[in-house]
Amino acid sequence: MPTDDALRQAGNDLLDRIQTVMEEVDWGRIVDLARILPMARRTFLAGAGRSGLVARSFGMRLMHAGLPAYIPGETITPATGEGDLLVAISCTGETGLTGYFARRGRELGARVVLITSNAESTLTAHADEVVLIPVKAENIVIRAAVFEHATSLCLDAVFNVLSERLKLDMETYHQRHANLE
């Protein structure tokens, strides 16, 4: 059974790793993403596993900002084409389903932004822009956890900046927030 000290140490280790990654992120690439999002006709967000959860979470934030956002594979997702943006999130940059969405989106004329920890990955060949989240860990479980948390923080920063730029006030935000739950 894990002890309080072991869990506290594991949590602090993750926080330290996330902080280190956040200090090394190329914020210029994040700014580029924030600039192109409002210009996209529609934004599609793709990822698998926990990266997919980060993609879905960011899609929700874009909807809150009043930007049309969709998750590929959902029944209400429209066709993709010229003027659209696909944001693909993959820690390894090798995820099969995410790779398919990136390739297919690009074939259909969408601009593709890949968020990954692997600048040498297969998916970079299918991206118009690459946002590198520079996670360094030999253990894939730790690497993925740090990647997902750091990516989520970066994308929340994008939302915060976009909401100010788009003059999103709390009343408008609340009107767009889910209310059936």
Whole-angstrom distance, CA of residue 128 vs CA of residue 134 = 19
How far is C-alpha 122 from the geometric centre of its chain's CA atoms? 18
Q: What is the DSSP string of 126-180?
A: G-SEEEE-----SSHHHHHHHHHHHHHHHHHHHHHHHHHHTT--HHHHHHHS---
At 15, list the tokens.
């926080």
Question: What amino acid occupies position 116?
Answer: T
Nearest to 29 by CA among 100, 115, 143, 121: 115
Residue where the block lists tokens 């915060």 = 160
Q: Which of 74, 148, 164, 181 is catalytic?
A: 148
The question of whether 164 is a catalytic residue gets the answer: no
Cα dist from 8 to 2, 40, 144, 150, whole Å: 10, 43, 19, 19
Catalytic positions are 148
